[in-house]
Structure formats: C-alpha cells, structure tokens
Structure 1
Amino acid sequence: MIPHAYPGIALADLDLDVTADVQALYSDGITARKGAFTPDWADRLREDIDVAFREALARPGGAVGRGPHRYYVEIHPEQMRGFVDLVDHPWVRSVCTAVLGPDYRIVELGFDVPLEGAVNQPWHRDFPIPEETRAERRLTSLAFNVTAVDTQEDMGPFEIAPGTQWDDSPEFGHGMFPPRSHYPRYEERAVRKYPQRGDISARTALTIHRGTRNHSPKSRPVLVLGVDGPEATNSDRHDTAVTRAYWESLPERVRRHLDCPVVDVLEPITQKHTIEGLVMGDA
C-alpha cells in the first residue's frame, strides 16, 4: 500500500511509482514532474491557448476575470492538440489513480492568463473544503497545471503556502478567502513556483495560493486540468464537451475517465466558474 493513497491502491496498480508525489500532496499540497513533455510540445500548447484566448475575448462570457488583467477560459478537449498526451501521460494517470482511485473523472480543461499589469490576488483556495476532506483528511480532487512559457520572476509567478490545504476556519469568506489576519502565516510559508515549458504540477486546489503581480510585458498562460474522485462535484461548474467523432478517436482508457457530454456540434463555452473574491485583486 502507498501511504495516503486511495484505499486498496498498490504500486502494482500504477504505471509509475508516485509514492513520493502522493506524500507531497498530503504534506505540502503540491508536487511536480519536471520535463514531462518537450519544449516544442509546450509551444504547441501556447499556440492553441492563444487561438482559444482570442476567440474567448471576442464574445460575451467567453472569458471570466480573475483579477485586473487576469483571465480564465474553459475550453473543449478538441481545442488542445495535446489533450490525449496530457491525460494519458503515465505520471498523470498514476497520480490520479493513487490519490483519487481507479474511477477518477476528468471534469475541467481551461487556462489562466495573467497579462501585463495583473496584480496580486488575495490568498484563497478555489472552492470550500469538502466534508470528506474536513472529516477524514482525504483529498477528493486534483488540479494539474502545465505552463505554456518559461516562468520568470517578473511574470507574476504562482505562489503557494504549503501545508495549508487542511486550514479550516469559520472566518474564511465563502469558505475560500482567509481573513487578512491570517496572511502572515501564508506569507511566512509562501513559495513561488517557476515551471518551465514541459513541466507538469499537481496540487490540491484547497492549498492556499495566489497569483502575483506581473511586472513583465509578457503574459503567463497556464493550462488547468481538473480531476475529481467519485465523491467530488466540481463537474457542476464546468461545461466541457466532445463531438462524437472525437470521442470515437479517443483511447478507451481516456474515454473511461472523461466525464462530459458527447454532442454533434460543440457550442462555445460561457464561463460559469466565477470566483467573485478574485475580481478586484488584493485591493
């Protein structure tokens, strides 16, 4: 058995030994696989994000603000040429299985884009702590992030406070935003991340984190892949779909985990995963 792993999961059930990654997710709330893809693969991801971002900005509801000059866009798998490469990567499959069990579900595909002028976000988690996590200290969902650029200090890197995924207080606004009196604890623990093209990280979105101020003229697009265990309900906030032709082209082990409608024609996604507390930034 792997410490902290989903009940009944053993190394023999996995493509890779991710024992250290599971332990890191439960202790720090984040782990990573350096060099999972080539820089060229990440450059193609950047191209796909740029196309989807321009399209989303051109229509109402296509992009949602996550603070000044900072946007989130949800996309369909067919809009990303490397979707199967990502979700069928042995490390991604193994981490999902070890933490969430063999019946994990892919429920979200999107990206964050902090532009020049993006400000510090307030410290936050992405949704209130689920009862299973509160009562049993068990993680029921994961967020994988893939950078589309080589992250530099002036580009507003992602900042996370390791070990805070278990923080739980009635003072949290909407269950997600700790009061400013808690900020010194997060600033003391804060670690900035500088992923490079080809790297993948996995985290629990419950770990307190924020995007920081982007002083650079460059944007810092980051792909987000959301995965739920059997008990989680994050799919309620997302509208990912695939066409029948695309569905039939997918490997069976990808279809088994892809939790979305199969449709004749894709409709542009109107974003509904808003996080109101992020709109103004760390005002």
Structure 2
Amino acid sequence: MNALLQPDATEADAASVAELRLHLHLRGAVQGVGFRPWCAQQALALGLNGWVRNDAAGLQCEVQGPAAALRVFTQRLRQSPPPLARIDALQQTPQTVRSDEAGFRILASDAGAALATGLPADAAPCADCLDELFDPADRRHRYAFINCTHCGPRFTITQRLPYDRPNTSLAGFPLCPACAREYRDPSDRRFHAQPVACPACGPQLALWQPDGTPIAGVDPLAEAARRLAAGQILAVKGVGGYHLVCDAR
C-alpha cells in the first residue's frame, strides 16, 4: 500500500525536467552587490533562460527551465547569494512558460516608480583584488581604485538609483578594451561590475598644493610620503571624505 502512495519513478523524472518559469522580486541590499551578474552566472551554469534587472524597489528576475534546475537556482539564491547582499524579502510568482526566449540577459534598469531601495556601504578590497594589487605582473598593480563585483566603492560613488555606471561618478570614465572585455564576460569576476576601471581608463591618484595647483611629474604616493617625513600635513581624499595625515611625533 505504501508503494501506491509514492510517485511513479517515470512521473517524478518527468516532473523534474518539466519546463517552468518563475518571477522573483527581491528587496534589501540587492543593488550594488553584484546580484545581476550573479543571477546571470548561475542561470547560465544551470542552463536556465530569462532575465534580471534592477528596479526602484530592488531587483527583478525571471528564470525558466527544468523544475530541478529552478530548485537549485532558488536554493542558491537563499543560501549563498553574493557576499555583500542582504535579502530582506523575496516574492516568488509562477509565470507562463515562453518559447521565444534563449539565453539569459541583464536588462536595462527600470526606474519608473518611486525609489524604495538602498545601497550597501563601500567594501574594502577583497582577497582577489589584493592579490592583483601587489602583483607586479598584473595590469592593476598598485592601482588605488581596484575593485570587482565583490568589493570597492558603492554608496559614496552613487549619485542616484538604480545602481548603474551612468548614475555613478565613474560615468565620465569610458572602459578601455581590456576592462570592457571583463565587463562583458560572464565567467569574469568583474562581469557587469559598475565601478570597473584600471590605470588605462579609470581615475588616477594626484597630488595638489594647498592652493589647488597640481604637482606634476611625481609619483603621488612617494611624494606624499616624502612630504610627511619632512613634517608637512596632508589631506587625503577617500571615497567618503578627507583624512588629515601627519607625523604625530
């Protein structure tokens, strides 16, 4: 009798491969944390179709594919989201399966409604970025503005939401070919990283006199260290303000 209560193996297999489609709406710290590239990478790895985009309230995502793959996607969403993310609410709604869609896309953000989301604080460089920062062979060696989808400035560079590069202070820095390749590559950890930059295309360190005159022809860090050793006081501009630096002795 117990056997009659168990689904037939063939029926169970068929249910696991049946095409389903889900609409997911996430609220919380879901913008500026690499959630869109995370969704794309997970969907591509699981063979799912669909799309993801930021909106005024958080993040929307639609995924379609075998039921078993959808279960894995939503399980990873809950258990291992991007490191900087925080999901406060997740609404899951079944949708009609589409036959006119192939692949997974990151769509343009929808900013049509009143804003009801926020951004995480700036994050210190991750271990991978620190490895590159101190690697003389890396093209970002000693680049002060190094970042990826898991670290770097967020709140202090954003001028308005949704969180997209044109809405940040990086808007005036077009990507070089190498950074553009990283930005477009789903397998790269800088895939769709909005602040991505390098010495060839991003912001640069500079040293200025008190009257605003730039000090040209010097390594800003080396010259700053020399002036500190000589007893001068420096104002160091970070992403969130200024720090006064001096030799306290």
Query: TM-score of the superposition, structure 1-length normalised?
Result: 0.24
Q: Which has the higher contact order (CA 8 A, sep 6+)?
A: 1
Larger Rg: 2
